[in-house]
Structure 1
Amino acid sequence: MRVDLFDFDLPPENIALRPASPRDSARLLVAAGASGVDDRIVRDLPSLLRAGDMLVFNDTRVIPAQLEGRRGEARIGATLHKRLGLRHWQAFLRNAKRVRDGDRIDFGAGVTAIAGARDAEGGVTLDFEGEEPVEILLERAGTMPLPPYIASKRPTDEQDRSDYQTMFAREDGAVAAPTAALHFTPELMDAIAAAGVLTQTLTLHVGAGTFLPVKAEDTQDHRMHAEWGRIDAEAADRMNAARAAGGRVIAVGTTSLRLLESAAGEDGVIRPFADETRIFITPGYRFRAVDGLMTNFHLPKSTLFMLVSALMGRERMQGIYAHAIAQGYRFYSYGDSSLLLPHE
């Protein structure tokens, strides 16, 4: 399909620079079935679900993977996006033309790395020097890797260390937050449990590639970035049992959805999974594992807007987004949310 079919105009004032406070006070656009929308708030979620439904969350934890350094007099920015080994990472570099294979980059606070060769995804490999784990080095020298559409409008600060982390964050490794889950609070989770709604976590380490623009003119020519995920046997069994009992499996975030669909067979059964996935979901895809999706609002012509268009239909999603823009919904990582239920 042509990539420009997934374009839309978004006024800059609709881009959220800070999350709602409290988190569950964010707006929630509910789109159920083939037509109509309902304007609610995230705190209403328990009343919008059924007893026996299961919400599936991503428990990845964002690491402070943004580094600022120097190679001689040249200023170099680095965003780590994929672990290759204990001290070996792939990174996207700013001012990469000033860095050659074998150059040492000084990121301050005693953190240095040796640049390696360019990789197939347009990044550079970095080998960190010393004996300390890279995670400790990042806590000392790194900042939270806010998306470009936020970072270009304001500097990262200490508030982002908590704002850009979900309450489920447990497994270190993401360089972007699974932002749909940013809206959840302990109080909301208590209300969800009281409504008889089940919950489950899995792990997908979100990579910086999620922010890369689609440069191809046709979706079939786009190469999807790889991300590593895991679903253990117990989690797979619980999700399959919920669905077999008549409950709906509703992914909280596109990251959870992509991992579930990667782990499901043609029969719709979710199987244990521990591997990279490059799944690219566009209209025409037949969903196997999920019955709905809670997700924030995505960029024009992005792979994530293509994904929600596959779930609900492209024209339906264009209408949903037109309504959201007209009603002043806040877009992107720190923005409002939507609940998409295609079969209602």
Structure 2
Amino acid sequence: MKKSLLMAAVALSAMVLAVSGAQAKYTFALVPKNMNNPFFDQARDGCKKAEAESKGALECMYIGPGEHGGGDEQVQIVQDLVAKKVDGIAVSPSNAAAMAVALQAAKEAGIPVLTWDSDLLPENKDLRVAYIGTHNYEIGVNLAKLAMQVKPKGGTICIQSGGAAAANHNERMQGIRDTLSGTKSAASPGDRLTGQNGWTEIEGCPLYTNDDFPLSVQQFEDIMAKNPNLDAFIPTGGFPQFIPDANRAAVVPYKDKIASKALALVVADTLPVQIDQMKEGLSLGQVGQRPFEMGYKTMIALKDMKDGKAPPADPTYTGLDVCTPQTADTCVAK
């Protein structure tokens, strides 16, 4: 009897040690600007891949606003995540200044934070460990280079942006303006083009979509109706192309202008639905990001930090893909 009790006690002790020694499951939140965007869907898929590879060591909690607005709902979501004491947060701030308030609370709670896709303002970067994502200024540089190949002498231009308070889109706009003007502006979104190197931004631009895709299509239609001889139209995100049927209806009337290079229509992002439209002659170039890598790498980095490993380099850039109709089948990194 005593021997049986002793053996049971030993077995129970072994079970306790096994449970106490088992790795805790971390809950990491991936917070996009909105959840009805195919770009962010790819980031979610990368996040879920990291979850699957962890074999139960981490949970990817993909959570964000249903629609992209001014950023208030996203800030509230992050505040709620802090209150729930998640193990880590990776966020793409819609409103960089407003997000700093929520991330101050995360810092005080000891919750590690990464930004991805879009970063905080320079004065608030101490609130996150690192930025993982695109070199947003370089997106603008490459969009401008594509436009310059089409229009080497310059011309009239309209830039379509995501949001006035979105740091990533402001950095892209600065890259466009600096490259076209041939000068370096002091800060994003850069200095307005008023004839530098032959480039002039038309009245009413830049346009701000706030990631409202139908609005982005309507803005293109309206600006082209008012300026039928516009030389260049450059969205800093894939907004209109994310609703392909509506975008086709809007752009097809200008397909001949695009083909003859009378209109330099070049667009950010290289999702499959966008490459298809470029192949159809509805753009002359695309500059793409790698959102899948952003979602994947933020999860791996958060787990590494929780496990006591070194934080990721700040910034950690995930690369770009520059596409033209001639390179459409090979330009996107696999």
Q: Same fold (TM over 0.5)?
A: no
In our comparison, the structure showing a higher alpha carbon Rg is: 2
> Normalising to structure 1: TM-score of the pair?
0.33
> Normalising to structure 2: TM-score of the pair?
0.34
More strand as a share of residues: 1
Higher relative contact order, chain-length normalized (CA < 8 Å, sep 6+)? 1
